[in-house]
């Protein structure tokens, strides 16, 4: 029987930059659409159904000196192929437990830094989807920004550190993943904050996020300062934490910028997006560290798995911030957009509370990459 | 819709890779050209079945979803069809057939694919008698009509055209290549 590798073990390999060989045995279309990337990952795709008579056709492409991690959709086919590899003499073959479905759910906490009054800020990296959420802790209290659906990860992280979750905050109404913000707030007795302009159709109570209404975490003031920054959605709001970090949501990423079309209003929102990126953010300090809600390219994954960049550096390098002509910008963010995230309309409805899919359906809706960015 | 299959494989409740593993085994015992219906509940099975069939030469006909069950239809690769040497002398290009049909001409059209293939899309008005049943059923056809015979790629229809000619039909035309490249109107049985 082949050895099994957990998503946690694979995540550690990726964020620590360990050379990793992945044999993805899903069909080519699924592989091309969504795969494991980042760190020093080397990939080979050969569908399991082409290997039913044996693995001879690929053995000369496989390494002997590092782990081979076989990956499929849910973990069944990868186990069969890993078994066959083992029989063919590859003692270094593993099957990824739960496949891409489990990989999509793994959250890897990475420390971003200490806060001035003793707290800390963590980035939870969802490697399988490129989603980033943030965990602020200070003096026994915690706040989470852009909480993923898998709320137990945050709960156990808080419990281990003896923290009470006080706030969950969404920068906007998400279209690529199901927010865990409301459910976690209900469970922990915390307050769920949402920008009111994104919440016009929601079916539940929430606390509106508004400029001027700072959110405090802990006794020491870790200020969470909202800045209304529309464009990806009409309500999109950014947060400055501790005068040091700028949580940009889906407005500004490290290598790209947000797309304005996922609520079907690209033409209306493109002006807001431009204003936020080319005027509003420009008034902020260049030294703020930008912490986005997504990454789309494996090279955005920095040291230890961190995704972060200095705002001033992004104004010099990010291709989405170099477009002087407004018409060129408009074209860039409304034409030739990448495909939309899987089931994005159903995901938006779920996040509004309009539909209540069961867990299996939710998992199915979230398969695939986030696709919230547009490249300049 | 009910689609005729020579064999039904129950792969319900089985997770990947089992639906394909079982299909591979079951299809090995079929005669070339026969159709298998694979019942599966694994949502990923549709894309995999299609890609697997393409790689092996079997023909993926289509999938029907009924309640939560996916019914995949595949036709076993048939070597004989690719090898035949004598050709029926009268052939017509698919485009010419389309022009005739679209001009409103009455065209006697015989589709000799398997009923399952026919169900997933055929030219409106085409009569279906699979090649394998032509021997017993040709008498149902009017010998004096100008029959146009069609299949997927032009091979089975060639054999059928030869067979009909041998039975005394004298105005038989083989339409080439066949439904695989037909982009005119189609009718489906569902």
Same domain, B96 and B134: yes
Q: In this structure, is residue B159 part of a structural domain?
A: yes
Query: Are both B60 and B125 inside the same structural domain?
Result: no
CB A124 within 8 A of CB A135: yes
B2 inside domain = no
**Does a structural domain hold residue B189?**
no
Residues B176 and B130 reside in one and the same domain: yes
Residues B25 and B55 in one domain: yes
Name the segment(s) of chain A with CATH classification 3.40.250.10.
3-103
Residues in CB range of A41: below 8 A, 6 or more apart: A14, A20, A21, A22, A298
Structural domains in chain B (count)? 2
Its domain, for residue B165, covers: 91-181
Rounded to an integer, the average pLDDT of A139-143 is 95
Q: What pLDDT band is residue B121 in, cutting at 50, 70 and 90?
A: very high
A52 neighbourhood in chain B, CB within 8 Å: 17, 20-21, 24
Residue B61 shares a structural domain with residue B99 = no
Average pLDDT rounded to a whole number, residues B122-149: 93
Mean pLDDT value across chain B: 90
From chain B, the residues in CB contact with A364 under 8 A are 43
* pLDDT of res. B82: 47
Domain's final residue, options B75, B101, B134: B75
Residue A72 catalytic? yes
Domain-embedded: residue B52 = yes
A28–chain B Cβ distance below 8 A for any pair: yes
Fold of the A107-374 domain: Metallo-beta-lactamase; Chain A (3.60.15)
Q: Which of A30, A49, A73 sits opposite B20 (nearest CB)?
A: A49
Q: What is the 3-state secondary structure (H, E, C) of chain A?
A: CCEEECHHHHHHHHHCCCCEEEEECCCHHHHHHCCCCCCCEEEEECCHHHCCCCCCCCHHHCCCCCCEEEECCCCHHHHHHHHHHHHCCCCCEEEECCHHHHHCCCCEEEEEEECCCCCEEEEEEECCCCEEEEEEEECCEEEEECCCCCHHHHHHHHHHCCCEEEEEECCCCCCCCCCCHHHHHHHHCCEEEECHHHCCCCCCCCEECCCCCCEEECCCCEEEEEEECCCCCCCCEEEEECCCEEEEECCECCCCEECCCCCCCHHHHHHHHHHHHHHHHHHCCCCCEEEECECCCHHHCCHHHCCCEEHHHHHHHCHHHCCCCHHHHHHHHHCCCCCCCCCHHHHHHHHHCCCCCCHHHHHHHCCCCCCCEECC
Question: Minimal Cα distance from B23: which residue of A?
Answer: A49
Q: How confident is the model at residue B83 (pLDDT cuts 50, 70, 90)?
A: very low
User: The CATH number of the domain where B65 resides is what?
Assistant: 3.30.110.40
| Chain B residues within 8 A of A45 when measuring between CB atoms | none
Q: Is the model's pLDDT at B79 over the cut of 80?
A: no
Tell me the pLDDT tens digit for each residue of B137-180.
Answer: 999 999 999 999 999 988 899 999 999 999 999 999 999 999 99
In a domain, B115, yes or no: yes
A172-188: average pLDDT:
96
CB contact under 8 A, B21 and A52: yes
Q: Residue A252: its pLDDT value, please?
A: 95
Average pLDDT over residues A174-183: 96
**Would you say residue B86 lies in a domain?**
no
* Closest by Cβ to A49, choosing from B15, B43, B52: B52
Tell me the C-alpha distance between A95 and B17, whole Å: 14
**CATH top-level class for A3-103?**
alpha beta
Percent of chain A with pLDDT over 70: 99
Of A156-170, B71-85, B86-100, B151-165, which one has max mean pLDDT?
A156-170
* pLDDT in the model for residue B164: 94
Please give the average per-residue pLDDT across A186-198, as a whole number: 96
Average pLDDT over residues A192-199: 95
Residues B112 and B38 in one domain: no
Mutation target to probe the A interface, by most A beta carbons within 10 A, among B17, B49, B72 is: B17
pLDDT of residue A293 exceeding 80, the answer is yes
Q: Does A29 touch chain B (CB under 8 A)?
A: yes
> How confident is the model at residue B161, as a pLDDT?
94
Q: What is the DSSP letter of B140?
A: G
Residue-wise pLDDT for A7-30, tens only, equals 999 999 999 889 999 999 999 999
A52 interfacial to chain B (CB closer than 8 Å): yes
ipTM reported for the complex surpasses 0.85: no
Average confidence score pLDDT of chain A: 92
The pLDDT, as a whole number, for residue B54 is: 84
pLDDT for residue B85? 59
Nearest CA distance, A110 vs chain B (angstrom): 33
Candidates A2, A24, A25, A27: best to mutate against B (most CBs of B within 10 A) is A27
Q: How far does CA A351 lie from the centroid of its chain? A: 16
Q: Say whether pLDDT at B1 is over 60.
A: no
Query: Using CB atoms, which residue from A28, A72, A80 is nearest to B51?
Result: A28
Q: Which residues of A267-288 are buried (b: 16+ CB within 10 A; e: fewer)?
A: eebbebbbebbeebbeeeeeeb
Across residues A38-58, what is the average pLDDT? 93
Q: Give B87-104 pLDDT, tens digit per residue.
A: 888 999 999 999 999 999
Distances in Å between the Cα of A368 and the Cα atoms of A11, A35, A373 are 17, 8, 14
pLDDT at A231: 86
pLDDT digits (tens, 9 = 90+) for A234-273: 999 999 999 999 999 999 999 999 998 887 777 788 899 9
pLDDT at B190 over 70: no
pLDDT at residue number B146:
94
Q: Is residue B13 part of a domain?
A: yes
**Which domain CATH number covers B170?**
3.40.250.10
Domain with CATH 3.60.15.10 in chain A: 107-374
Tell me which of B75, B107, B122 is where a domain ends. Answer: B75
Flag whether B100 is in a domain.
yes
């Amino acid at each position: 029987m082949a050895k099994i590798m957990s998503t946690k073990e694979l995540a550690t390999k990726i964020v620590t930059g360990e050379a990793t060989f992945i044999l993805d045995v899903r069909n080519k279309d699924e592989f091309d659409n969504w795969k494991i990337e980042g760190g020093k990952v080397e990939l080979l795709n050969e569908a399991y159904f082409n290997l039913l008579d044996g693995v001879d056709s690929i053995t000369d492409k496989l390494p002997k000196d590092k782990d081979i991690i076989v990956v499929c959709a849910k973990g069944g086919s990868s186990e069969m192929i890993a078994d066959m590899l083992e029989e063919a003499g590859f003692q270094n073959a593993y099957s990824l437990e739960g496949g891409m479905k489990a990989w999509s759910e793994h959250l890897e906490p990475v420390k971003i830094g200490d806060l001035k009054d003793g707290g800390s800020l963590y980035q939870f990296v969802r490697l399988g989807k490129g989603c980033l959420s943030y965990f602020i802790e200070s003096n026994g209290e915690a706040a989470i920004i852009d909480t993923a659906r898998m709320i137990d990860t945050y709960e156990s992280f808080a419990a281990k550190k003896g923290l009470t979750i006080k706030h969950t905050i969404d920068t906007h109404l998400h279209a690529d993943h199901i927010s865990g913000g409301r459910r976690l707030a209900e469970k922990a007795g915390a307050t769920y904050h949402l920008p009111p302009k994104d919440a016009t159709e929601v079916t539940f109570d929430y606390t509106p996020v508004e400029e001027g209404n700072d959110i405090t975490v802990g006794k020491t003031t870790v200020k969470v300062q909202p800045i209304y920054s529309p464009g990806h959605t009409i309500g999109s709001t950014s947060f400055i934490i501790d005068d040091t970090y700028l949580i940009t949501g889906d407005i500004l990423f490290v290598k790209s910028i947000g797309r304005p079309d996922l609520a079907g209003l690209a033409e209306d929102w493109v002006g807001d997006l431009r204003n936020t990126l080319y005027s509003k953010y420009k008034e902020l300090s260049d030294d703020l560290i930008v912490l986005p809600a997504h990454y789309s390219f494996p090279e955005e994954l920095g040291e230890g798995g961190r995704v972060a960049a200095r705002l001033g550096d992004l104004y010099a390098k990010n291709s989405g911030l170099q477009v002087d002509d407004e018409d060129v910008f408009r074209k860039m963010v409304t034409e030739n957009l990448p495909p939309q995230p899987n089931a994005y309309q159903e995901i938006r409805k779920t996040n509004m509370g309009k539909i209540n899919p069961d867990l299996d359906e939710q998992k199915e809706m979230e398969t695939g990459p986030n696709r919230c960015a547009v490249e300049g | 819709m009910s689609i005729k299959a020579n064999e039904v494989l129950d792969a319900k409740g089985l997770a990947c890779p089992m639906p394909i593993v079982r299909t591979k085994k079951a299809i090995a015992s079929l005669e070339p050209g026969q159709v298998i219906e694979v019942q599966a509940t694994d949502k990923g099975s549709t894309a995999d079945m299609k890609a697997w069939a393409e790689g092996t030469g079997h023909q993926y006909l289509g999938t029907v979803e009924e309640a939560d069950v996916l019914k995949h239809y595949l036709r076993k690769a048939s070597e004989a069809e690719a090898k035949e040497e004598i050709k029926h002398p009268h052939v017509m290009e698919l485009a010419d057939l389309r022009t005739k049909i679209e001009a409103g001409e009455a065209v006697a059209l015989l589709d000799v694919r398997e009923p399952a293939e026919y169900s997933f899309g055929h030219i409106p008005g085409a009569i279906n008698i699979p090649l394998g049943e032509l021997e017993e059923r040709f008498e149902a056809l009017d010998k004096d009509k100008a029959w146009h015979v069609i299949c997927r790629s032009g091979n089975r229809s060639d054999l059928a055209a030869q067979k009909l000619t041998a039975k005394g039909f004298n105005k038989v035309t083989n339409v080439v290549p066949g439904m695989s490249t037909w982009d005119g109107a189609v009718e489906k049985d569902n």
